[in-house]
Structure 1
Amino acid sequence: MDVAAIDKNHPSPKWIASLRKRFPCEKEMDRIFTRKLQRRNGPSYSPVSLETLCASLHSLLANELKDTFEVRDAKWLSGGASKLQVAFKLDWNQPGVGRTITPMVIRMEPAESIVETSRLREFQVIRAVGEILPVPPVYWIDQDGTHFPYPAIIYGFAEGVAKPSGVVSNVTGLGTNFGPEVRKVLAKQYVEHLAKLHTWDWRKADLSSLDVPALGTDAISMHLNWWERIWEEDSNRDIPLMRLAAIWLRDNMPTVDRLSLVHGDFRAGNFLYTEHDDRITAWLDWELAYLGDFHYDVAFTTLPYFSHYSEDGSTLLASGMMPVQALYEAFEKASGLTIDQKTIDYYHIFQSYRTAVIVIASGYRPARNGKTHQDLLLTWVMGLGYPVLAYLRDKLEEVG
């Protein structure tokens, strides 16, 4: 296919088919990426009113509930670079509880997102991990946008904050400083929760939207296909370093000898905690979860661009929690798993590649085509890609 003739803003069926062949992904993710490209030829994002979403919610609830209900106090929620969110209260006859008023949240896609993911996968994973980790309860899913303008899920409202009150931090929790006292309490829970996730027996849960890869390198190659495909779909220019990184990642895949449920975005900014007792109350943003190597999450949370220095000015705190080596040791003690530093180095490169794909390619394309409500934020986020590329270059030089 003539690369110069490809119009990524108006993808042809032939080009879409070629991407599916070149980069075989999990079935559910192939469906999501294919749908994204097919919808790209459609209309741009147009603001959805609160009244429209409430009408969609009534349609869904009327289909799901057999009793009377009332939606109260609907309001927009701020935060999040990828999904639209609305908080509301539902007066309903909850099974096993009776008449009650339950705070809930609508989480809906825009026309196109900086991370195009599956609401079904998110719904299933949150429901499954609720037995081991604090997560919001999930209630209903509109998988194909039957009731809502776009696919959506309804989950419970979680109490807590993502950062200390009055603290200013960058977008998505970058560099969040919890302070020494709060940090000490949160860090212990943070590592324990990561260990619980990676040692949990996911086989007993309904995770039908996740493919189960073979041990060896299959779990890595399928996931690398995910991000290489997105780079091809969304990037607006060639960056030789990205091609070099993809080749290196393909040539140096470590063996995966056990499969864990991987969160995919485990870091500060993606959990809530209550300030009166510093207890983590909810882990959020499960949309990037998959079955793979536990090193993936451990490497992600120790990336330097999610870190900051402690009060001594010289100790780097992984995801604002604890020094990197201390985190490795605490994780090994809590999980019984052994961290391989060479594998961590591999996933530091993988995660940097993935981050660059997200912010440089998938940050650009929806904003350029007017497919998102967060076009200004995504344009700003694109600038973060260049420090990430610098780190990626340095890591590739380091490993040789």
Structure 2
Amino acid sequence: MLAIDGNKDRPSPAFIAELRRRFPTEVEVDRVLTRKLQWRAGPGYRPLPLATLIEGVARLLRTQLQTPFAISDARWLAGGASKLQMAFMLEWHRPGAGEQRTPMVLRMEPAESIVETSRMREFQLIKALLGTVPVPPVFWCDAEAEYLPYPALIYGFARGVTKPATSSSGVSGLGTHLPPELRARLAPQFVEHLARIHTFDFRKAELSAFDVPSPGTQCAQWGVNWWERVWEEDSDEDVPLLRLAASWLRRHAPALDRASIVHADFRVGNFLFEEDSGVITAWLDWELGRIGDRHQDLAWTTSRAFGHYAEAGGPFLVCGLLDEAQFFAAYERASGLSVVPRTVHWYKVYNAYMMAVLLLGTGYRIARNGKTHQDVLVTWLMGIGYMLLDEMRELIERGA
């Protein structure tokens, strides 16, 4: 662990500069992580009245719209362990469409999030993928909290559900059980949408908040640097297994064969669908998206945390939809891209490493310092971190 400054709650400029030097990554990722540390000594999270958010939205819209507008029906949206969300109705003159009443969602960071990400990257990525896969339309972004208490974006309210009315689920959609007739409708869309994301021509889109990795291992190294830096920023204990994992990841870093848009949280619980028709209406939670290696998504999506076994002793189903062999075969047909098992395995280790860092490092830090609206949930999630460490150990041993 870095010894420049032992007070991570008030990190010194020298401490921040040393982290930036040791762990180079994408420009926007570096900017957001640096801002997190620069703001860390500020006040913790305090409950915000809806009136404060409504006024912040109004201030933002007055800089964007030339005609009168009205905000109504504001209410909190539940769900997620990461961001604050407010639904509202906007009455406005929409350019090219005339007078409208549009349901919208404000998505805003707390004082510190369990995963610190860029609202501008999320905004650009959703906007770029509109028309390629189902996503809510995005309208405005307050990337530097000029108008709202914290960085935020505004997008259209997407209708649908994350699970059947008769199904139970855990935190963030974990443990969702999908009945056979529903998964038969959802599975083809699920695979097709992932293939469309990975084959999307990102070079024709406005993605200025993203860096494109060079051929070779830069993509993998950027990723390891990102999460090793976060561990150094947030942790208060030394976990030797995490140091071993970072070393293993660097030593076995795969070369990037094709740069693709990566969603980075493509799974059950992060898409909405119409329960009657089974049509997927929107893909959500793009905050960790990057231009990188498609195998990161493939490894994440096939994590056993997101699936369940089929009825009557059937096979384990990826995200509760189809078995792994069927999933990979369908993906290769839909995308025309190959699935490299060795690279999938590397990203399984990488994903476990990332989650252990977030739960045992960042989760601990923000809960202890009172920086999040989800402090109880985040504290509970910390307990899963040790299970992830054991999973990561098994994966490393299997791949050594």
| TM-score normalised to structure 1 length | 0.98
How far did residue 209 of structure 1 move?
Answer: 0.2
Task: Quickly say closer, same or farther: Cα 1:254–1:2, change in 2 above 3 A.
Answer: closer
How far did residue 236 of structure 1 move?
Answer: 2.0
The residue that corresponds to 2:341 in the other structure is 341
The residue that corresponds to 2:44 in the other structure is 44
- Report the secondary structure of 2:268's partner residue: coil
Q: Does 1:236 align with 2:236?
A: yes
The residue that corresponds to 1:226 in the other structure is 226
- Report the secondary structure of 1:101's partner residue: strand
Q: Tell me the amino acid that sits aligned with residue 329 of structure 1.
A: A
The residue that corresponds to 1:388 in the other structure is 388
The residue that corresponds to 1:331 in the other structure is 331
Q: Does 1:162 align with 2:150?
A: no
Q: 1:242-298 CA deviation, whole Å, 9 max, x = no partner?
A: 111100000001111110010011111111001111110000011101111111101
- Report the secondary structure of 2:139's partner residue: strand
Within 1, Cα distance between the matches of 2:9 and 2:166?
41
Within 2, Cα distance between the matches of 1:131 and 1:313?
39
Q: Tell me the amino acid that sits aligned with residue 137 of structure 2.
A: P
Identical counterparts, % of pairs: 54
Question: Is residue 5–residue 12 contact of structure 2 (8 Å, CA) maintained in 1?
Answer: no
The residue that corresponds to 2:15 in the other structure is 15
State how 1:144-183 maps to structure 2 within 5 Å: 144-183=144-183
Question: Is residue 84–residue 107 contact of structure 1 (8 Å, CA) maintained in 2?
Answer: yes
Q: 1:116-160 CA deviation, whole Å, 9 max, x = no partner?
A: 000000000000011201000000111111110011101000000
Question: Is residue 91–residue 100 contact of structure 2 (8 Å, CA) maintained in 1?
Answer: yes
Task: Quickly say closer, same or farther: Cα 1:383–1:314, change in 2 above 3 A.
Answer: farther
The residue that corresponds to 2:108 in the other structure is 108
State how 1:274-289 maps to structure 2 within 5 Å: 274-289=274-289
- Report the secondary structure of 1:62's partner residue: helix
Q: 1:157-177 CA deviation, whole Å, 9 max, x = no partner?
A: 000011111322110111211
- Report the secondary structure of 2:145's partner residue: coil
- Report the secondary structure of 1:363's partner residue: helix
State how 1:126-137 maps to structure 2 within 5 Å: 126-137=126-137
Structure 1 window deviating more from structure 2 (59-68 vs 113-122): it is: 59-68
The residue that corresponds to 2:364 in the other structure is 364
- Report the secondary structure of 2:249's partner residue: helix
Q: Tell me the amino acid that sits aligned with residue 319 of structure 2.
A: S
State how 1:201-212 maps to structure 2 within 5 Å: 201-212=201-212
Q: Does 1:27 align with 2:27?
A: yes
Q: 1:21-56 CA deviation, whole Å, 9 max, x = no partner?
A: 000111111110000011111111111110100111
Within 1, Cα distance between the matches of 2:251 and 2:388?
21
Structure 1 window deviating more from structure 2 (299-308 vs 67-76): it is: 299-308
Within 2, Cα distance between the matches of 1:158 and 1:374?
23
**Where does the alignment leave 5 or more consecutive residues of structure 1 unmatched?**
none
Question: Is residue 302–residue 324 contact of structure 2 (8 Å, CA) maintained in 1?
Answer: yes
- Report the secondary structure of 1:339's partner residue: coil
How far did residue 181 of structure 1 move?
Answer: 0.9
Within 2, Cα distance between the matches of 1:364 and 1:311?
38
Question: Is residue 267–residue 319 contact of structure 2 (8 Å, CA) maintained in 1?
Answer: yes
Question: Is residue 175–residue 319 contact of structure 1 (8 Å, CA) maintained in 2?
Answer: no
Within 2, Cα distance between the matches of 1:115 and 1:272?
22
Question: Is residue 75–residue 87 contact of structure 2 (8 Å, CA) maintained in 1?
Answer: yes
Q: Does 1:67 align with 2:67?
A: yes
- Report the secondary structure of 2:42's partner residue: coil
Q: Tell me the amino acid that sits aligned with residue 206 of structure 1.
A: E
Q: Tell me the amino acid that sits aligned with residue 120 of structure 1.
A: M
4+ aligned runs moved over 6 Å, structure 1: none
- Report the secondary structure of 1:3's partner residue: coil
Question: Is residue 136–residue 282 contact of structure 1 (8 Å, CA) maintained in 2?
Answer: yes
Structure 1 window deviating more from structure 2 (369-378 vs 173-182): it is: 173-182
Q: Does 1:290 align with 2:290?
A: yes
- Report the secondary structure of 2:79's partner residue: coil
Q: Does 1:87 align with 2:87?
A: yes
Question: Is residue 161–residue 275 contact of structure 2 (8 Å, CA) maintained in 1?
Answer: yes
Question: Is residue 5–residue 11 contact of structure 2 (8 Å, CA) maintained in 1?
Answer: no
Q: Tell me the amino acid that sits aligned with residue 304 of structure 1.
A: R
Within 2, Cα distance between the matches of 1:131 and 1:359?
34
Within 1, Cα distance between the matches of 2:349 and 2:168?
29
Q: Tell me the amino acid that sits aligned with residue 65 of structure 1.
A: L
Within 2, Cα distance between the matches of 1:361 and 1:184?
39
How far did residue 239 of structure 1 move?
Answer: 1.0
Q: 1:284-341 CA deviation, whole Å, 9 max, x = no partner?
A: 0111011111111011100112221111235111121211111111100111111111
Q: Tell me the amino acid that sits aligned with residue 396 of structure 1.
A: I
The residue that corresponds to 1:249 in the other structure is 249
The residue that corresponds to 1:200 in the other structure is 200
The residue that corresponds to 2:311 in the other structure is 311
